[in-house]
């Protein structure tokens, strides 16, 4: 057999390759000795076909998160460093797909293909690449879109006890992006398979799966995979943002993510801090949420809005992880268990909810009508307390209480029934023009439904003159102009 001639530019040279050895394996963690040149977040390849992400370095050995594991992995296997980095595809092929944090398909759609890859744990955009948040993101919730508005590129925390409606509002927000041109990523961290299936079925039933990608790390996944889940979802949304798209990413939830990170750190024998969380738990979530922003036009003009979810116990928002997330985000929507028990849905406590930058992104027409609505409602909540003692009220105070009760009835909303911005503007004009006074119960519900149907059949837009809106409201409600 002829031997091929060596290339003319061939020069023999010394090549150094480090080869380590696996010392122990367990709980999704592998300890490796003999790789002194390893770096954080590097990929280690093991001879049996397994791969791991370097996550902890000590002078004697390194600890790594197992990304791919085979039954043949055991102590004694040889390992070597690679030049690869952990990335996530950010292509259109991910729309409508359900994947794990390593982009492996969890549906029957086959492998995800595409060229655009983003680092899973990459840097946040620099200040010079960012722009002001000045465009609204409509969630379909009457309370949020009018009283606690959110802008595209904002980070708004959903916080409350378990079972108070946080995930329901997040799902409503995703469904409301239909026909809004916003791509969505929904990250499910540590949830049961039944909850994951329910979320997928809900999105599919409301035609929202086509513009959404689900990143799933189930409850049975290793702590390392749960740790990677929000960063993988962020990388997908970040890629779309860089391409000029508006994106919405939901992290459901970061309290579970913090627990997974604590478990991972304890397995890697990192020094525990407050409540056994590692000292860098704040930095972990800060560097994740700092990647959400709105880019300047010269950098694509896309945006990434983040809705992280945090769970509290007994309504205690001063706990360690909730406090961290409140200080990182641009505002919070607080869900109250007492309101939920009283049947006030969505159970949003307006007195403890705030949106620090969303007001500047609100559409002028909606902002004008919302005006004093939040202040009036907060005053009503204070005045209502006095009515419980049977105090005699003057006419002005009685009128405020009546308006507050009307607002509370209007703001009540079923889940999976997002309202369009035009719906919101219609009921606000009707309310501010006193066209809904004296209505309650079924009569109010019927009137609001008539308004909604009339707006859907009209050609009015948010930019239409207020007089046109007022004429439409009068025609619908049967009042003389």
For the chain, list the domains and their CATH numbers: 19-82 (2.40.30.20), 87-362 (3.40.50.300), 369-477 (1.20.150.20)
State residue 442's pLDDT score: 87
CA atoms of 241 and 254, how far apart (whole Å): 22
Q: Residue 155: name the closest of 234, 214, 216, 259 by CA.
A: 234
How far is the C-alpha of 307 from the C-alpha of 173, rounded, in Å? 9
Three-class secondary structure of residue 156 per DSSP: coil
Rounded CA gap, 372 and 2, in Å?
A: 89
Output the tens digit of pLDDT for each of the chain's 481 residues.
455 666 777 778 887 788 999 999 988 999 999 899 999 999 999 999 999 999 999 998 999 999 999 999 999 999 999 988 899 998 899 999 999 999 999 998 888 887 788 999 989 999 999 999 999 999 999 999 999 999 999 999 999 999 999 999 999 999 999 989 999 999 999 999 999 999 999 999 999 999 999 999 999 999 999 999 999 999 999 999 999 999 999 999 999 999 999 999 999 989 999 999 999 999 999 999 999 999 999 999 999 999 999 999 998 889 999 999 999 999 999 999 999 998 888 999 999 999 999 989 999 999 999 987 888 888 888 888 777 776 677 888 888 888 889 999 999 998 888 999 999 999 999 999 888 888 888 899 999 999 999 999 999 999 999 999 999 999 988 754 4
Alpha-carbon torsion (352, 358, 362, 368), positive or negative = positive
Residues whose CB is less than 8 angstroms from the CB of residue 27 and which lie 6 or more positions away in sequence, other chains included: 222, 223, 267
So what's the pLDDT on residue 386? Answer: 74
Burial of 391 (0-12, 13-18, 19+ CB in 10 A): exposed
* Helical ranges in 290-349 per DSSP H: 320-328, 337-341
Gap between the Cα atoms of 27 and 285, Å rounded: 23
- CA 191 to CA 202: how far, in whole Å? 16
pLDDT of residue 5: 65
Sign of CA dihedral 408, 412, 418, 423: negative
Active-site pick, 19, 269, 356, 466: 356
- The answer to whether residues 175 and 417 touch, using CB atoms and an 8 Å cutoff, is no
Q: What are phi and psi of 308, to 5 degrees?
A: -75, 145
- Closest among 171, 163, 162, 161 to 140, alpha carbons compared: 171
What distance in Å separates the CA atoms of residue 210 and residue 200, rounded to the nearest whole number? 11
Q: What is the pLDDT of residue 115?
A: 76
21 catalytically annotated: no
């Amino acid at each position: 057999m002829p031997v091929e001639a060596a290339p003319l530019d061939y020069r023999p040279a010394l090549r150094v390759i480090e080869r380590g050895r696996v010392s122990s394996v367990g709980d999704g963690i592998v300890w490796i000795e003999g790789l002194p040149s390893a770096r954080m977040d590097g990929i280690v390849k093991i001879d049996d076909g397994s791969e791991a992400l370097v996550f902890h370095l000590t002078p004697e050995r390194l600890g790594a998160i197992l990304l791919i594991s085979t039954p043949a992995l055991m102590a004694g296997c040889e390992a070597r460093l690679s030049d690869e980095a952990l990335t996530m595809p950010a292509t259109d092929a991910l729309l409508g797909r359900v994947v794990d944090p390593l982009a492996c398909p969890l549906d029957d759609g086959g492998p995800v293909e595409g060229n655009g890859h983003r680092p899973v744990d990459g840097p946040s955009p620099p200040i010079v690449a960012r722009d002001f948040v000045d465009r609204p993101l409509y969630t379909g919730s009457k309370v949020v879109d009018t009283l606690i508005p959110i802008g595209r590129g904002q980070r708004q925390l959903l916080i409350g006890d378990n079972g108070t409606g946080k995930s329901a509002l997040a799902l409503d927000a995703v469904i409301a992006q239909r026909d809004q041109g916003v791509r969505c990523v929904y990250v499910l961290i540590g949830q049961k398979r039944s909850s994951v299936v329910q979320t997928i079925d809900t999105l599919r039933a409301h035609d929202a799966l086509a513009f959404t990608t689900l990143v799933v790390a189930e409850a049975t996944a290793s702590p390392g995979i749960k740790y990677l889940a929000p960063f993988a979802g962020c990388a997908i949304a970040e890629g779309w943002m860089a391409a000029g798209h508006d994106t919405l990413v939901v992290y459901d939830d970061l309290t579970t993510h913090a627990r997974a990170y604590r478990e991972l750190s304890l397995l890697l024998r990192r020094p525990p801090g407050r409540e056994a969380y590692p000292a860098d738990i704040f930095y972990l979530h800060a560097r994740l949420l700092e990647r959400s922003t709105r880019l300047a036009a010269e950098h694509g003009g896309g945006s990434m809005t983040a809705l992280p979810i945090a769970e509290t116990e007994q309504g205690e928002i001063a706990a360690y992880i909730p406090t961290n997330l409140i200080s990182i985000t641009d505002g919070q929507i607080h869900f109250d268990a007492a309101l939920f028990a009283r049947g006030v849905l969505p159970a949003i406590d307006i007195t403890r909810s705030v949106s620090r930058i969303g007001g500047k992104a609100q559409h002028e027409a909606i902002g004008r009508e919302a005006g004093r609505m939040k202040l009036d409602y907060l005053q009503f909540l204070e005045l209502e307390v006095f009515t419980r003692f049977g105090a005699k009220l003057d006419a002005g105070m009685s009128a405020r209480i009546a308006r507050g009760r009307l607002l509370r009835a209007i703001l009540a909303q079923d889940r999976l029934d997002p309202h369009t911005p035009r719906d919101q503007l219609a009921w606000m004009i009707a309310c501010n023009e006193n066209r809904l006074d004296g209505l309650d119960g079924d009569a109010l519900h019927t009137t609001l439904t008539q308004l909604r149907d009339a707006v859907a059949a009209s050609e009015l837009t948010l930019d239409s003159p207020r007089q046109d809106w007022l004429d439409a409201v009068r025609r619908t409600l049967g009042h003389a102009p």
